[in-house]
Structure 1
Amino acid sequence: MSKLIVNNIIYNYQSNVIDPAKSTYVFLHGFLGSKIDFHKLIEDFPEQFLVLDLLGFGANRFQNVPPERFLQNNQVSDLESIFTKLNLKNISLVGYSMGGRLALAYALKFPRRTNELILESTTAGIDGDDQRKLRREHDEKLAASLEQNGIEKFIENWENLPLFATQKEVNPSSFEFMHNQRITQNPINVANSLRNMGTGKQPNYWHELSTLRIPKVKIIVGSEDEKFLKIGHRLQTLISNSSEIIVKNAGHNIHFEHPNSFKKAIFDDSK
C-alpha cells in the first residue's frame, strides 16, 4: 500500500502503474467502502490500475477530516491533485455509487485526462430544490442517528435497506468481510460524509450531461436494482457516446456480487 498527501490530507492507494502515460483504470468506491472493495476485481487485472481510499474512508479513516473537506467540489480537486502527482495522463475512471457521483463530477470538470467513464449504480444528482432539501434533511437525520446510537446500529440499519438486499445472497464469508469493513469506519467521517457528500448536497448535474465530452461512457446497472435501472437509462439517453449494460441477477453493488460479470462489462465493447 502506498500513500500521498494532498491538500494536507493523506490518501492511501494501491497501484500497478508502470507507465503513467498509458491508460490506467482508476477505481472509486462507494459510501462506507474502501479500495479493498475491488480486491476481487483487480486480481489478474489485465491493465494498469489505481484503487483509492476516498476521503475519510478505508485506511484514511484514522484522520478526523474537517467537515467541509467532504464537499464534492473539494474531493474533485483532490482527485485532480492525486492524478497530477502520479502523472496520470489517460484515465478510465470507474466509480460505484458515491464514487460514481464523484467520477462524473470529475469528468465534467476535468475531461482532458478522462478517456473513458464507467458509472456503476450512479446518479447525476437530484432534480428540484425541494427534493434536494428533503434529501439533505434525511441525511442529517441519518448522521444524527449515527452520532447518537453508534456505528454498529447504523450499519445494521444500513444493511437492511432494500437497496442492498441482494448483497446478503452472496456467500456469508464475503458479506461478513464487507460488514466488518463497514463497522470499522470512523463514525465522525461517516457522519460528515453524509452531511456534505450526499446527493442532496452535491450539485445537480442532470442539465450538464449533454455537455460531457468523453470518448466512451459505460453505465452499468444490476437487473434487480429497479431504482437505478431507471436512473441508468436516463443517464444513457442524455450522455453522448454512452452505452448501458445491465448485469443479470445483480443488485446495487455489482462488482461485489458478481465481480467476474462486472469485469466483463468493463471490457465489453460490443455496445
Structure 2
Amino acid sequence: MDIQTGDIETGDIEQIAAAAEAADGAAPLDEATWLALRHHPERVRRWASEHGFALLIGDELTLVVHPDARARGEGASLLDGVLAKASGPLSAWSHGDHPAAAALAKRHGFDRVRELWVMRRPSSVPLPPLREPEGVAVRGYRPEDAEELVRVNAAAFASHPEQGAMDEANLAERMAEPWFDPAGLLVAMDGEQLLGFHWTKRHSPELGEVYVVGIDPAAQGRGLGKALTLAGLHHLVDGGAREILLYVESDNAPAVAVYSGLGFEHASADTHVMYRWG
C-alpha cells in the first residue's frame, strides 16, 4: 500500500476526522493536536494513505482511517510507515477505547499504559448551593490575570505532562479558539492573589465541560477545589447546558470520588486509552 510522507492537507485531515467521529462517537484528534495543526504546523510530521493519515507531534502519534476504508490493512501500513522512521519511544491515544485500535496496538508491540475517563452528569440532577470559602471571591477572568493563571497552572499540574506545560503563548492560543468565553474562566481570589481557577468550556449550547480545575498547592485545604468546581457547574447549567462532562485519570481516586459526589458517572465505553511503544 502506498504511504506518502508530508502531503496531506489540514482540510483533508478535518474531513477524515469528522467521518471517524460520526462513526465512532468520539473525536479521534485531541485539542493539543488541533492547536498544533493550526498554530504550529511545522511541528507536525504527516503520513498519508489513500483514506487515512498519521500525525506525529514530538513523541505522540495520531492515526485515523476513514470508516469506509477500515479493515483493509491501511491502518497497519500507516503505522508501519511511522515506526520505520521512529527514533525513540512513541505514545498514542485511542479515544473511546476502540477494539480495532487495541488490536492494532497489540500487533505492533504497544503497551496499554494509561486510562483517561470521561465522566458525565445531566443538569436535571440538582446542584448543591454555591458557598465561597471565607475570604475568597470567585469572579470571571480578566486579561491582567494571565501571568498568575499560568503560574498557578504550572504549580497545580507540575507532574502532568500536557496541562502543566502551558505558558502564556499557549494560553493565548487556547483563548483564540471560537469557544473561549472569559466569563466561563472562573478565578478564586484572596484580595489580589489568585488561588485557583475553573476553566469551563461549551461544546454546544447544551453540552458543557469542566475543562480545567487548578488549585495553587499553597492554597490547598481551603475547600477551593469543590467551590470552584461548583461555581463552574452553576455557570454552565445557568447558561443552558443539559449535560456536563469532564476528563479524569482513572487512577485518581480522590478526584473520582469528588466528581461522583457531584453527580458525575462514568460508562466503560467513555474511556480514552494511551498506548506506549519502545
Q: TM-score, normalised by structure 2?
A: 0.29
Q: RCO (CA 8 Å, sep 6+): is it higher in 1 or 2?
A: 2
- Write 1 or 2 for the structure with the bigger share of helix: 1
- Write 1 or 2 for the structure with the bigger share of strand: 2
Rg larger in 1 or in 2? 2
Q: TM-score, normalised by structure 1?
A: 0.29
